Amino acid sequence: MKNIIVGQSGGPTSVINSSIAGVYKKAKELGVNKVYGMVYGIEGFLEENFIDLDDYLSNEENFELLKRTPSAFLGSCRYKLPKVEGNEKVYERIFEILDKYEIDAFFYAGGNDSMDTIKMLSDYAKENNKHQLFVGVPKTIDNDLPITDHCPGYGSACKYIATSLKEIIRDNSSFPQSRLTVCIVEIMGRHAGWLTAASSLCKDDNCEGVDAIYLPEEDFDLDEFLNRIDKLRKTKSSIVIAVSEGIHLKDGKFVCELSSGDRKVDAFGHKQLSGTASTLASIVAEKTGLKTRAIEFSTLQRAASHLSSLADVNDAINSGMKAVEAANEGKNGVMAIINSDSSVDTYDIHDIANVEKKVPLKWIDSKNKQMKKEFLDYARPLIQGELLPIFKNGVVTHLVRK
Amino acid sequence: MKNIIVGQSGGPTSVINSSIAGVYKKAKELGVNKVYGMVYGIEGFLEENFIDLDDYLSNEENFELLKRTPSAFLGSCRYKLPKVEGNEKVYERIFEILDKYEIDAFFYAGGNDSMDTIKMLSDYAKENNKHQLFVGVPKTIDNDLPITDHCPGYGSACKYIATSLKEIIRDNSSFPQSRLTVCIVEIMGRHAGWLTAASSLCKDDNCEGVDAIYLPEEDFDLDEFLNRIDKLRKTKSSIVIAVSEGIHLKDGKFVCELSSGDRKVDAFGHKQLSGTASTLASIVAEKTGLKTRAIEFSTLQRAASHLSSLADVNDAINSGMKAVEAANEGKNGVMAIINSDSSVDTYDIHDIANVEKKVPLKWIDSKNKQMKKEFLDYARPLIQGELLPIFKNGVVTHLVRK
Going along A46-177, which residue ranges are E strands?
50-52, 103-110, 133-138
Residues of A in contact with B78 (CB under 8 A): 175, 179
Spatial separation of the C-alpha atoms in residues B367 and A277, rounded to whole Å: 37
Spatial separation of the C-alpha atoms in residues A317 and A232, rounded to whole Å: 44
Interacting residues of B163 by C-beta distance below 8 A, sequence separation 6+: A306, A395, A396, B202, B307
Spatial separation of the C-alpha atoms in residues A5 and A7, rounded to whole Å: 7
Q: Which of A179, A206, A298 sits opposite B399 (nearest CB)?
A: A206
Spatial separation of the C-alpha atoms in residues A180 and B302, rounded to whole Å: 18
Q: Give A315→chain B minimum CA distance, Å.
A: 16
CB contact under 8 A, B300 and A168: yes
Amino acid at B113: D
Residues of B in contact with A173 (CB under 8 A): 71, 75
Residue B394: closest C-alpha in chain A: A384
Q: Pick from A236, A177, A174, A169: which is nearest to A204 by CA?
A: A169
Enumerate the β-bridge partners of residue B138: B110
pLDDT at A372: 98
Superfamily of domain A157-303: Phosphofructokinase domain (3.40.50.460)
Q: Give A128→chain B minimum CA distance, Å.
A: 31
CB contact under 8 A, A394 and B295: no
Q: Pick from B361, B358, B343, B315: which is nearest to B159 by CA?
A: B315
Residues of A in contact with B164 (CB under 8 A): 300, 304
Q: Give A178→chain B minimum CA distance, Å.
A: 10
Whether A142 is catalytic is yes
Burial call A280-319: b when 16+ CB within 10 Å, e when fewer? bbbbbbeeeebbbbbbbbbbbbbbbbbbbbbbbbbbbbbb
* DSSP track, A141-200: TT---SSSSS-TTHHHHHHHHHHHHHHHHHHHTSS-GGG-EEEEEEE--SS--HHHHGGG
CB contact under 8 A, B299 and A307: no
pLDDT 10s digits, B351-368:
998 889 999 999 999 999
Residue from A167, A286, A306 whose CB has the most chain B CBs within 10 Å, to mutate: A167
CB contact under 8 A, A171 and B303: yes
pLDDT 10s digits, B213-257:
999 999 999 999 999 999 999 999 999 999 999 999 999 999 988
Spatial separation of the C-alpha atoms in residues A259 and B278, rounded to whole Å: 14
Spatial separation of the C-alpha atoms in residues A319 and A333, rounded to whole Å: 15
Q: Which of B69, B300, B380 sits opposite A393 (nearest CB)?
A: B380
Q: What is the mean pLDDT of chain B?
A: 95
A111: left (phi over 0), alpha (psi -120 to 50) or beta: beta
- Residue B131: alpha-carbon gap to chain centroid: 31
pLDDT at B261: 42
pLDDT 10s digits, B57-98:
999 999 999 999 999 999 999 998 999 999 999 999 999 999
Q: Give A11→chain B minimum CA distance, Å.
A: 8
Amino acid at B109: A
Tell me phi and psi for residue A103, to 5 degrees. Answer: -95, 125
> Regarding beta strands A291-296 and A212-214, do their DSSP bridges make them parallel or antiparallel, or are they unpaired?
unpaired
pLDDT at A258: 84
Residue B12: closest C-alpha in chain A: A171
Return the DSSP state at A370.
Answer: E
Q: Give B330→chain A minimum CA distance, Å.
A: 31
pLDDT 10s digits, B171-216:
999 999 999 999 999 999 989 999 999 999 999 999 999 999 999 9
Spatial separation of the C-alpha atoms in residues B151 and B15, rounded to whole Å: 10
Residues of A in contact with B386 (CB under 8 A): 391
CB B372 within 8 Å of CB B365: yes
Q: Which of A77, A174, A383 sits opposite B76 (nearest CB)?
A: A174
Domain B155-303 top-level CATH class:
alpha beta
Residues of B in contact with A210 (CB under 8 A): none
Q: Which of A176, A299, A306 sits opposite B40 (nearest CB)?
A: A176
CB contact under 8 A, A394 and B388: no
Q: Coil, strand, or helix at residue A91? A: helix
Enumerate the β-bridge partners of residue A335: A136, A347
A vs B, Cβ pairs < 8 A, gives 178
pLDDT at B187: 97
Query: Start-end ranges of CATH 3.40.50.460 in chain B?
Result: 155-303
Spatial separation of the C-alpha atoms in residues A138 and A109, rounded to whole Å: 6
CB B226 within 8 Å of CB B256: no
CB contact under 8 A, B300 and A72: no
Return the DSSP state at B254.
Answer: B
Cβ-based neighbour number of residue B368 at 10 Å:
12
CA distances from B118 to A13, A376, B80, B336 (A): 48, 47, 11, 12
CB contact under 8 A, B398 and A166: yes
Query: Start-end ranges of CATH 3.40.50.450 in chain B?
Result: 3-152+305-356+383-396
Going along A215-301, which residue ranges are E strands?
238-244, 291-296
Domain B3-152+305-356+383-396 top-level CATH class:
alpha beta
CB contact under 8 A, B170 and A75: no
pLDDT at B262: 41
Spatial separation of the C-alpha atoms in residues B114 and B153, rounded to whole Å: 15
First to last CA, chain B: 27
Q: Pick from B360, B387, B349, B380: which is nearest to B111 by CA?
A: B349
pLDDT at B271: 53
Q: Which of A173, A206, A394 sits opposite B309 (nearest CB)?
A: A394
Catalytic residue among A104, A113, A142, A211: A142
Residue from B299, B301, B377, B383 whose CB has the most chain A CBs within 10 Å, to mutate: B299
Q: Give A74→chain B minimum CA distance, Å.
A: 8
Listed as own residue / partner, the contacts of B281-288 with beta carbons closer than 8 Å and 24 or more positions apart are: B281/B182, B281/B184, B283/B222, B283/B226, B283/B258, B284/B182, B284/B184, B284/B226, B284/B229, B287/B226, B288/B182, B288/B226, B288/B229, B288/B230, B288/B233
Query: Start-end ranges of CATH 3.40.50.450 in chain A?
Result: 3-152+305-355+383-396
pLDDT at B329: 98
CB B327 within 8 Å of CB B36: no
CB contact under 8 A, B298 and A295: yes
pLDDT 10s digits, B105-129:
999 999 988 999 999 999 999 999 9
CB A68 within 8 Å of CB A390: yes
pLDDT at B197: 98
* DSSP track, B108-172: EEESHHHHHHHHHHHHHHHHTT---EEEEEE--TT---SSSSS-TTHHHHHHHHHHHHHHHHHHH
Radius of gyration of chain A (CA): 22
Residues of B with a catalytic annotation lie at: 142
Amino acid at B284: V
Using the predicted structure, report yes or no on whether residue B36 has a pLDDT greater than 60: yes
Burial call B75-85: b when 16+ CB within 10 Å, e when fewer? bbbbbebeeee
The sign one gets for the Cα dihedral B40, B45, B49, B54 is positive
Give per-10-residue mean pLDDT for chain A (402 aa).
97 96 98 98 97 97 97 95 95 98 98 94 98 97 96 98 98 94 96 97 98 98 98 96 97 85 48 77 92 95 97 98 98 98 97 93 98 98 97 97 92
Q: ipTM value of the model?
A: 0.95
> Regarding beta strands A364-365 and A370-371, do their DSSP bridges make them parallel or antiparallel, or are they unpaired?
antiparallel
Spatial separation of the C-alpha atoms in residues B390 and B402, rounded to whole Å: 20
The predicted model scores a pTM of: 0.96
The sign one gets for the Cα dihedral A352, A358, A361, A362 is positive
* The CATH classification of domain A3-152+305-355+383-396, taken from the options 3.30.1370.160, 3.30.200.20, 3.40.190.10, 3.40.50.450: 3.40.50.450
Spatial separation of the C-alpha atoms in residues A132 and A104, rounded to whole Å: 5
CA distances from B311 to A115, B159, B374, B379 (A): 46, 11, 19, 11
